[in-house]
């Protein structure tokens, strides 16, 4: 029996993980579930799974959570520190699925707790990748990637490590505006941006997929997780989202991982690893699929990719600034406070205005993150004014 904790249990990744855990029955026992404010979703999941502990990050929601779970035997707690304590409680397997850099401390706490920590929450890896890897080697925790591309690469490298690897090829769906003109993209609405053609995801990552910043963050994530140079990581648009990524070896072999575009496939891989477990996926029908297409991403309509590659190359604080400014700009777009094309422009402005030294510890990363957010928020106001 595996003891599991899910950080961000009410989100898109969180509910996909819960679905697999609940289907697994006695194979899993839920230690802790956390959420930001969604009391109904959290209490419902805790009741269904008989979780030992339910934690709400926004402490003001604790009384409502306590009411909702009264008499169930699930303990409750509230506040950001309580989320970290729950993460550190020593589950065998922890899903890190909070959205944004808000997941940094909880992810580090889970790593300190040891066991297997599955990373869906990519933003902390972008902002503080070296610190996260160092924490994992200090505690002996095993990190596994849930992001479909990185999980695909992990599977294609199985057994060989990075020996003989020439190139990683990250695939991108291209998002909902893959073939739109820049003029049309300028008028994109929130509803259009969150309606991804192939994947059902939280609002923030859906917008990131539409700007291709998600692929930029994933480029940095890949450079953190796999011992490969930035120049050896390519990005190719593959609109069908069936090939989740590929690894090319020096002998010319290319290994790919394919599957339905449902996050339960990579999550199940990490839940059962190093074994396999069954999922409710229908098998791929290759005859129905008919073809796989590939094209190069357009650097003019999707500048986020260039910004991310530059940030990765420069290193230091640049990836943390890129990520923080993007979080602010995406939130502004989702609230109707800036246009779609302004997201990348705000990120670029923030990067050009702020160039602190490389942060050496978590407090310094969070300080850079905070300052970049302040600058990006000013840029949002200036652009709207």
Stretch that binds ligand NAD, among 32-40, 298-306, 319-327, 341-349 (CB under 6 A): 32-40
Phi, psi of 120 (to 5 degrees): -95, -40
Write down the least CB distance from residue 218 to Mg ion, Å: 5
* Residue 261 contacts ligand NAD per CB under 6 A: no
Among 53, 104, 120, 328, binds ligand NAD (CB under 6 A): 120
Among 49, 116, 121, 326, binds ligand NAD (CB under 6 A): 121
* Residues sharing a CB contact under 8 Å with residue 164, sequence separation 6 or more, in sequence order: 249, 250, 251
Stretch that binds Mg ion, among 149-157, 171-179, 303-311, 364-372 (CB under 5 A): 149-157
Rounded CA gap, 53 and 133, in Å?
27
- Measured from each CB, the residue nearest to Mg ion is 147
Q: Of Mg ion, ligand NAD, none, which one sits near residue 265, judging by CB under 5 to 8 A according to partner kind?
A: none
Rounded CA gap, 366 and 1, in Å?
36
* Residue 239 Cα to chain centre, angstroms: 20
Rounded CA gap, 8 and 239, in Å?
29
* Residue 8 contacts ligand NAD per CB under 6 A: yes
The maximal CA–CA distance of the chain, rounded, in angstroms, is: 62
Write down the least CB distance from residue 38 to ligand NAD, Å: 5
Tell how many helices (H) and how many strands (E) occur in the chain. Answer: 17, 11
Write down the least CB distance from residue 164 to ligand NAD, Å: 28
Write down the least CB distance from residue 26 to ligand NAD, Å: 25
Q: Cβ distance 180 to 193 under 8 Å? A: no
193-to-155, 206, 343 alpha-carbon distances in Å: 30, 7, 12
Query: Which residue carries 């690897």 as its tokens?
Result: 165
Query: If we measure between CA atoms, which residue out of 371, 365, 323 comes closest to residue 347?
Result: 323
* Residue 221 contacts Mg ion per CB under 5 A: no
Q: Which sign, positive or negative, has the C-alpha torsion 49, 55, 56, 57?
A: negative
Write down the least CB distance from residue 372 to ligand NAD, Å: 17
* Residue 197 contacts ligand NAD per CB under 6 A: no
Query: Residues 54 to 113: which contact ligand NAD by CB under 6 A?
Result: 57, 83, 97-99, 102
Among 52, 123, 147, 369, binds Mg ion (CB under 5 A): 147
Stretch that binds Mg ion, among 55-63, 148-156, 158-166, 328-336 (CB under 5 A): 148-156
Q: What's the CA dihedral at 235, 100, 325, 220 to 10 degrees?
A: -30
Write down the least CB distance from residue 152 to Mg ion, Å: 9
Query: Which residue carries 């420069």 as its tokens?
Result: 314
Q: Of ligand NAD, Mg ion, none, which one sits near residue 13, judging by CB under 5 to 8 A according to partner kind?
A: ligand NAD
Write down the least CB distance from residue 73 to ligand NAD, Å: 22
Q: Of Mg ion, ligand NAD, none, which one sits near residue 215, judging by CB under 5 to 8 A according to partner kind?
A: none
Q: Cβ distance 117 to 136 under 8 Å? A: yes
Q: Which DSSP letter does residue 359 get?
A: P
Q: Of ligand NAD, Mg ion, none, which one sits near residue 199, judging by CB under 5 to 8 A according to partner kind?
A: ligand NAD
Q: Cβ distance 301 to 341 under 8 Å? A: no
Q: Please say which residue, 83 or 144, places its beta carbon nearer to ligand NAD.
A: 83
Query: Which residue carries 């690894």 as its tokens?
Result: 247
* Residues sharing a CB contact under 8 Å with residue 275, sequence separation 6 or more, in sequence order: none
Among 4, 14, 143, 379, binds ligand NAD (CB under 6 A): 14
Q: Of Mg ion, ligand NAD, none, which one sits near residue 98, judging by CB under 5 to 8 A according to partner kind?
A: ligand NAD
- The binding site for ligand NAD (CB under 6 A) comprises 8-14, 35-36, 38, 57, 83, 97-99, 102, 120-123, 147, 199, 201-202, 204-205, 263
């Amino acid at each position: 029996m595996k003891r599991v904790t899910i950080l961000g249990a009410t989100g898109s990744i969180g509910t996909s993980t819960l679905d697999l855990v609940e289907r697994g029955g006695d194979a899993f026992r839920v230690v802790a579930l956390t959420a930001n404010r969604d009391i109904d979703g959290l209490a419902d999941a805790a009741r269904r799974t008989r979780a030992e502990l339910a934690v709400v990050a926004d402490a003001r929601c604790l009384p409502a959570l306590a009411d909702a779970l009264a008499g169930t035997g699930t303990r409750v707690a509230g506040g950001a520190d309580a989320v970290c304590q729950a993460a550190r409680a020593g589950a065998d397997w922890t899903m890190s699925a909070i959205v944004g850099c808000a997941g940094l401390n909880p992810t580090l706490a889970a790593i300190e707790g040891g066991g297997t920590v599955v990373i869906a929450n990519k933003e902390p890896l972008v902002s503080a990748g070296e610190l996260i890897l160092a924490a994992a080697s200090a505690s002996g925790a095993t990190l596994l990637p849930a992001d479909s591309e990185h999980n695909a690469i992990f599977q294609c490298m199985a057994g060989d490590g990075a020996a003989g690897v020439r190139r990683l090829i990250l695939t991108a769906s291209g998002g909902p505006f893959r073939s739109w003109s820049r003029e049309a993209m300028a008028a994109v609405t929130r509803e259009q941006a969150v309606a991804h053609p192939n994947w059902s995801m939280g609002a923030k990552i859906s917008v990131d997929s539409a700007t291709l910043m998600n692929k930029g963050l994933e480029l940095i994530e890949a450079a953190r997780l796999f011992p490969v140079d930035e120049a050896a990581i390519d990005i190719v648009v593959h609109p069908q989202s069936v090939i989740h990524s590929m690894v090319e070896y020096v002998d010319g072999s290319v290994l790919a991982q394919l599957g339905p575009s449902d996050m339960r496939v990579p999550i199940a891989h990490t839940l059962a690893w190093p074994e396999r477990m069954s999922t409710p996926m229908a098998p791929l029908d290759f005859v129905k699929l008919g073809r796989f297409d590939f094209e190069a991403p357009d650097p003019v309509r999707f500048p986020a990719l260039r910004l991310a590659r530059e940030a990765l190359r420069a290193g230091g604080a640049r990836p943390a600034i890129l990520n923080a400014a993007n979080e602010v700009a995406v939130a502004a777009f989702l609230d109707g406070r800036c246009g779609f094309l302004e997201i990348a422009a705000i990120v670029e402005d923030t990067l050009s205005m702020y160039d602190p030294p490389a942060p050496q510890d978590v407090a310094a990363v969070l300080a850079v993150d905070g300052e970049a957010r302040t600058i990006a928020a000013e840029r949002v106001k200036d652009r709207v004014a």
